[in-house]
Amino acid sequence: MLAVALILVGVVALYLFGTRTFRYWEKRGIKHEKPIPFFGNNWPMYSRTKSMTQVATELYWKYPKERLVGFYRATQPELLIRDPKLVKQILATDFGYFNMRGFNTHKKVVEPLAKNLFFADGDIWKLLRQRITPAFTSGKLKAMFPLIVERAERLQNNAIKVPPTGGVLDAREIMARYTTDFIGAVGFGLDTDSLSVEDSAFRKLGVEIFKFDVNQIVRQMLKEMFPETFKHLKVLKKLESDVFGLVRSIMQKRNYMPSGRNDFIDLLLECKTKGAMVGESIEIIKPDGTPEQVSIELSEALMAAQVFVFFAAGFETSASSTSYTLHELAHHPDVQRKVQEDIDRVLAKYDDKLCYDAINEMNYLRCAFKEGLRMFPSLGILARKCARKYTFPDMDLTIDEGVTIVIPVQAMHNDPQFFENPEEFRPERFLTDFINPLTKDIYLPFGEGPRACIGERLGLMQSLAGLAAVLSRYSVEPAPKSPRHPTVDPTSNVVQSVIGGIPLLFRPRSK
């Protein structure tokens, strides 16, 4: 009997522990789905049946009259935002309260690769951003452009090999190889040649980064359910040795000094020669209300984490957005002709050569790309974590430190109250200011505010150059087996991906 009683007590205690936070939104009068013990509302993600973006999108459409919707990631309360004014408030106006990205489950114990500009929080993020921002000035981007041109020409001549009558290729894979090659050159000073070499090691690393396997899902789930118990568990462990080994070998070849290549590795080495990163803290405040001065050493591990995110973010997001834009252009031949006329007109001014100024003049191409990003943003959600207790100014709602805010970018980009006939691919939307002034607050393919994507201009530049290179030589059409609406991969994590790639028929243009 005693054993049975102990088991019963244990089961009850376990249940109470696994549901301990589940009245958080009820107490605050916020509508939410009924959570499952331990899993909260996040079972679809843990079971790999829906992606983060798909879960957020469904929640967005289920509560059309709410400004805010409650959610539980395991036992952690989260808040989905449906109001453009609140989006602006969180990302920009009240950034001091929401400066954390929120992907790290533990504030003090963060695995090495997660200490990068995208995932890092607090002072590490602030000092890294401060130190690295000068790498993305217009002058530095212009100096990088010859590297883009070289890869864009390889894309035209090596990657797209089809007969005069045309041939079917996976646009997703082709654009991934192009962006991988570019990031290899600009980030690492390496000629990876993923466009010619089928089994490029660099391309394999790119695939591995975004292959979120069951082992990683379980590790992430345990960290979210039991953050204190499993705080030392590493989700990115399988990538550490490859990334650290690659970065260390490149730095050793350069004797840990800038080489004059002006790539991302050089930038980090230059940053290291300047000594420790010093600045005002956003975590530690003195009794008089002023911030403490903090100092962080730019170690080799910290540099490797930045290289990791530069590579991961730089190639995957651009590959996703450019291939989806090609997909929509294939299904809209009239729009494609306008884009090609825009490209041809500009290139004619520059002796048919891609260059920095030419890309900046391709206005209609830029609009088409922005429209592709609207319909299928690479980052389908944005997340921010509340750094300290916060009261929404015009609402009777206070949330605690640690509550994560989710902004459903994919859903908002496709909401007819912000974009008329959102299912239509219409680049003209971006030729003028938005009719609805609130639309600019929810068009967020690169984020907004102090934590907006630092590489936005670089990503835009390489994407437009890749599209111009393809469309100046080829026209794209739906392939016999091309789905009209690509199926989103439910196992995709931060960056959205599709199942089965994006097969398109490429036909050489006759000029």
For the cut 70, the answer to whether the pLDDT of residue 410 exceeds it is yes
pTM score: 0.91
Return the number of other C-beta atoms located less than 10 Å from residue 245's C-beta: 11
* 453 is known to lie in a ligand binding site: yes
Look at residue 389 in the predicted model and tell me its pLDDT. 95
Is residue 454 within 8 A of residue 313, CB to CB? The reply is no
399's enclosing H/E stretch is strand 398-399
The CA-based angle 216-219-224, given to 5 degrees, is 125
Is residue 263 within 8 A of residue 276, CB to CB? The reply is no
The DSSP output letter for 290 is P
Which comes out higher in pLDDT, residue 384 or 491? Answer: 384
Domains of the chain, each with CATH number or no CATH = 83-508 (1.10.630.10)
**Burial class, 107, CB count within 10 angstroms (exposed 0-12 / middle 13-18 / buried 19+):** middle
CA distance 123 to 282: 6
Is residue 21 within 8 A of residue 42, CB to CB? The reply is no
Question: Quick one: tokens of 430?
Answer: 């971006």
273-286, pLDDT tens digit by residue? 888 889 888 888 88
Is residue 79 within 8 A of residue 69, CB to CB? The reply is yes
300-335, pLDDT tens digit by residue? 888 888 888 887 777 788 889 999 999 999 999 999
For the cut 90, the answer to whether the pLDDT of residue 250 exceeds it is no
Confidence of residue 117 (pLDDT cuts 50, 70, 90): confident
For the cut 60, the answer to whether the pLDDT of residue 201 exceeds it is no
Look at residue 246 in the predicted model and tell me its pLDDT. 80
113's enclosing H/E stretch is none
Q: How far is CA 352 from CA 31, 182, 195, in A?
A: 57, 21, 22
Is residue 189 within 8 A of residue 261, CB to CB? The reply is yes
Largest Cα–Cα distance in the chain?
90
Residue range 456-467: average pLDDT?
A: 92
Mean pLDDT score of the chain: 87
Q: How far is CA 126 from CA 24, 283, 447, 504, in A?
A: 31, 10, 17, 43
Instruction: Give 371's contacts (C-beta < 8 A, 6+ positions apart).
Output: 325, 328, 425, 426, 427, 429, 430
Report helix, strand or coil for 376: coil
Look at residue 203 in the predicted model and tell me its pLDDT. 61
Look at residue 204 in the predicted model and tell me its pLDDT. 63
**Burial class, 429, CB count within 10 angstroms (exposed 0-12 / middle 13-18 / buried 19+):** buried
For the cut 70, the answer to whether the pLDDT of residue 212 exceeds it is no
